[in-house]
Structure 1
């Protein structure tokens, strides 16, 4: 039987990463459309609507009426691949990300002058990528579909009209599916096999925040989003002629991964009856992602069981902590209309040594525009648009079992979002 040489990125954590999302690493920023309009500059201090459940749970104390807010954002990405070369040939079409939808929904109910209760459902992490058949980097990346959905019940307490706190446990569900091409030693670059892994898990975390009305016109917010530890368990399926009689077989797979904690600080400053400005910074502990290890149980020795190709797979990532900074402004035209704008810069956690086609991300800049329309006192419709542009990301990968792949990735994306807030 032909020996199959495998060294494939089976890790769901690697597959989570996408440069097309509007935050560094594999985080998603789109949990609030009103916040999207100002580039999320005042995420932890603005507390404009029920989406503060995510931005800063302490902000629920500012909402004086029961309200519900639902919305969605669409991310339309574009990737240009230049100078792409693979040892075994192939194409470099780019544009591997379809249009992605990001839903969100929140509910807040004040209980009395001190307490408020709320719930939120949102997507904090996720990815969909799908390279073309015959992609030159197919042994490093092929197709990925991963998402995290979070449910967050929340309470806030106002000590007085100046200081409030909020807390919410998070129930997080992660699901993922990933495929990678594999090389056959006897016919490298031909008769590629496929390895597909599917896994899921549910894990707990929490969000906590404090909101301070420092002066009549100045508000400060600080929010901590905890790390979440997952143990994904699922199946690895191998298929293709190169696997011989083992083609179509499934094996138990497991992976330990943590999504990182982050700290968000922002300031909201009201200049007059019409103008409000925002500034904020977010620190994320991406350095937790040092390496990825996937364990597959029951793999025959002919396929690298126990110590070989797909028995245990470990890949170095060596990510670093990142900072994101944003400024924004809103202008209240009249009772019905509010206009918004913002600008943000966001570091990429990857490095030039370990970056792969699954992680083709560079530092990015984002320009945002938005508007809020209140046709009645009880309802507000928010819309937002963002344009993202990344620095060039260089891929220089080499492996004894996957050959060499090098390319320069240039990523950009458009984001469109809308939400409706109704106050009872």
Structure 2
């Protein structure tokens, strides 16, 4: 029954922590298609369109016209799993491609009120993932399906003090939803007659984004953006079903059923700094660095309520150690203006993984990663810009070594992760 409790503890958030998003941990970078083309090197200083509402709200004061930006980024990930090992009574496959083709939407609207004030609103996805292993996955007892998403609404205001200094602020309203499914080992027939654990949880919580933009010259500017932590208390249900739990019921333990569960989770704060320099009429250069406080994620602690008395000793608060560490991400990018209508972009980024070799699991098969990006902007008129972007990401090879119940359950494997990102966006100026 300790296995049941562990699955419950993991259900609310560990499923979010996959290495397949195009950012460290379970964060997503896909909030701007124009930024995607430079690997987000100038995220807090570029202020090219309304998506600056997320990248740096202070940049809204630079926009001269009312405008709306909409976009979608699609992610296609691939994982190769090899060198696997598990107990002899466990059989299964390791196809590896556990992340289905996924789309991430975004939308922004900014309206300058005068030469100093601008207001806007944005909807975007700062965190999210989905993993879906095959049903016979060898590591299924450590998780076979996970889906977590955060959708954020951000009303924002920006003020320009003078030609050099602007600030921006926006409270964030964040909705998190999560679901996890995993297999549970049968006590009586290990390796077959698995049980199924399915957990759903959600919450809505507040945070904020704060940005400063300073223009040293008309051609050089620097931006600093702070994205606050968000404190969630997810509430939901844990459902236990399948042959393994039916066997427990036959033995007098009423395990099958639906139970209330809750979990406290803080998404990390981050600080993004970047510089944009317009070298001449054709070339623009970008450089940026992002610090994320993943060290807040030390452990998962789950609370279960309403469970039968026979299960309380094993489903009391359970701690799953994680011990993540803070990370840095770095990026360089450039844009080349072919003509008034066409602009090419490119970027290179390096992103540290917050996981460690001891606590890494099949749900977090993540290593340090490198990404290269290409972008293209087309301006058929002064009112319209179409942005397209492509990114390719690859990670260092990593090992997963998991065990529980005094090593009676184990799974180890080598993971090789990569991902393709595709983006398209439209900006319209009124």
Structure 1-normalised TM-score?
0.97
Distance 1:5 1:148 in 2: 28
1:271 aligns with 2:279: yes
The equivalent of 1:312 in structure 2 is 317
Distance 1:361 1:164 in 2: 37
Pairing of 1:341-360 with structure 2 (within 5 A): 341-360=346-365
The equivalent of 2:109 in structure 1 is 107
1:331 aligns with 2:333: no
- 2:376 aligned to 371, 377, 382, which one? 371
The equivalent of 1:6 in structure 2 is 4
- 2:386 aligned to 381, 387, 393, which one? 381
Using the TM superposition, give the Cα deviation of residue 4 of structure 1 relative to its aligned residue in structure 2, in angstroms.
8.3
Q: Is the 8 A contact 1:8 1:181 kept in 2?
A: no
The equivalent of 2:187 in structure 1 is 185
**Unmatched 5+ stretches in structure 1:** none
- 1:171 aligned to 173, 181, 205, which one? 173
Distance 1:216 1:380 in 2: 22
Against the structure 1 CA distance between its residues 68 and 364, is the aligned structure 2 distance closer, same or farther, given a 3 Å change threshold? same
Using the TM superposition, give the Cα deviation of residue 242 of structure 1 relative to its aligned residue in structure 2, in angstroms.
2.0
The equivalent of 1:288 in structure 2 is 296
Using the TM superposition, give the Cα deviation of residue 172 of structure 1 relative to its aligned residue in structure 2, in angstroms.
0.1
How many residue pairs match? The answer is: 419
Q: SS state of the match for residue 6, structure 2?
A: coil
Using the TM superposition, give the Cα deviation of residue 299 of structure 1 relative to its aligned residue in structure 2, in angstroms.
1.6
Q: Is the 8 A contact 1:4 1:184 kept in 2?
A: no
- 2:234 aligned to 232, 235, 251, which one? 232
The equivalent of 2:224 in structure 1 is 222
Structure 2-normalised TM-score?
0.95
Distance 1:366 1:293 in 2: 34
- 1:419 aligned to 415, 421, 425, which one? 425
The equivalent of 2:415 in structure 1 is 409
Q: SS state of the match for residue 13, structure 2?
A: helix
Distance 2:41 2:18 in 1: 22
1:79 aligns with 2:52: no
Q: SS state of the match for residue 60, structure 1?
A: helix
Q: SS state of the match for residue 245, structure 2?
A: helix
Q: SS state of the match for residue 8, structure 1?
A: helix
Using the TM superposition, give the Cα deviation of residue 6 of structure 1 relative to its aligned residue in structure 2, in angstroms.
2.9
Q: SS state of the match for residue 9, structure 1?
A: helix
Q: Is the 8 A contact 2:7 2:197 kept in 1?
A: no
Q: What RMSD over aligned residues (CA atoms) do the two structures have, in Å?
A: 1.2
Residue range with higher mean Cα deviation, 143-152 or 184-193: 184-193
Using the TM superposition, give the Cα deviation of residue 311 of structure 1 relative to its aligned residue in structure 2, in angstroms.
3.6
Distance 2:2 2:364 in 1: 26
**Unmatched 5+ stretches in structure 2:** none
The equivalent of 2:29 in structure 1 is 29
